[in-house]
Amino acid sequence: MYRKPVRPVLVVIAHGSRDPRHAATVHALVRRVRSLRPGLRVETGFLDFNVPSAHGVLESLAAEGVRDVVALPLLLTRAFHAKADIPAVLREAPSMLRIRQAEVLGPSPLLLSALERRLYEAGLAPADKSSTGVVLASAGSSDPEAIAVITRLAREWRGTGWCAVRPAFASASLPRTEDAVRELRELGCARVAVAPYVLAPGHLPDRIARGAAQADVLAEALGPAPEVARVLLERYDAARTPALAALGA
């Protein structure tokens, strides 16, 4: 008798934070993912600060008899956590698990749509684009690949009709948010908006918010925006495709 292949469990691996808003936002995003893909089992694990740990989730799944897992880094850029921390956790997972690590979320056109959604929710209108300068404010990284992605994303977003778009970083790299806001003022943009390119509130997003004090508009973190949930499912589907081919699905 033919049996339909069991879909791999999606394990979302988030960084974690002492700030309770972080975990709450991660869980809200995972709930939205579940609502978009009924029947898909989605679990959440954290690298630090929050429970359950990613390692604990993988051990629990193995104990249940789960064999196929897609581990998805809840990260916007491919920096240290995606290149080192998460692979280390996966190497320590129970050997009976077949784990595929999905790609990080960014870059994606859907994330640009989510950024615009947050700006419009904060008070801008589509008609404001041509007169508004935007600061694309990310957490920052010492990884040059991650910085290059943010810089390129700002350049691409500028091409969609904004007066100007400047990247900024809350740590490790320059410029800071307040410097980019000042630059857009000097450039002559009628208004300046700050779009945090972060998934959840926390220490570095708070630093971005302080740097946005002289801006006209400050958007919320991307959080459980529907576009973000769709990116998660895209990454999951791309990672599970080789497994389906091996099963003849």
How do residues 80-105 score in pLDDT, each as one tens digit?
A: 888 999 999 999 999 999 999 999 99
| Digit-coded pLDDT (tens) for 4-61 | 567 999 999 999 999 999 999 999 999 999 999 999 999 999 999 999 999 999 999 9
| Digit-coded pLDDT (tens) for 134-166 | 999 999 998 999 999 999 999 999 999 999 999
Q: Cite the beta strand spans of 106-163 per DSSP E.
A: 132-138
pLDDT of 81 reads: 81
For residue 46, the SS3 value is: strand
pLDDT of 149 reads: 95
Distance of alpha carbon 10 from alpha carbon 239, whole angstroms? 10
| Digit-coded pLDDT (tens) for 163-197 | 999 999 999 899 999 999 999 999 999 999 999 99
pLDDT of 35 reads: 98
Q: Please state whether the predicted TM-score (pTM) of the whole model is above 0.85.
A: yes
Answer left, alpha or beta for residue 161, where phi above 0 means left and psi between -120 and 50 means alpha: left
| Digit-coded pLDDT (tens) for 102-127 | 999 999 999 999 999 999 999 999 99
Assess whether pLDDT exceeds 50 at residue 247.
Answer: no
Distance of alpha carbon 51 from alpha carbon 205, whole angstroms? 21
> In one letter, which amino acid is 109?
P
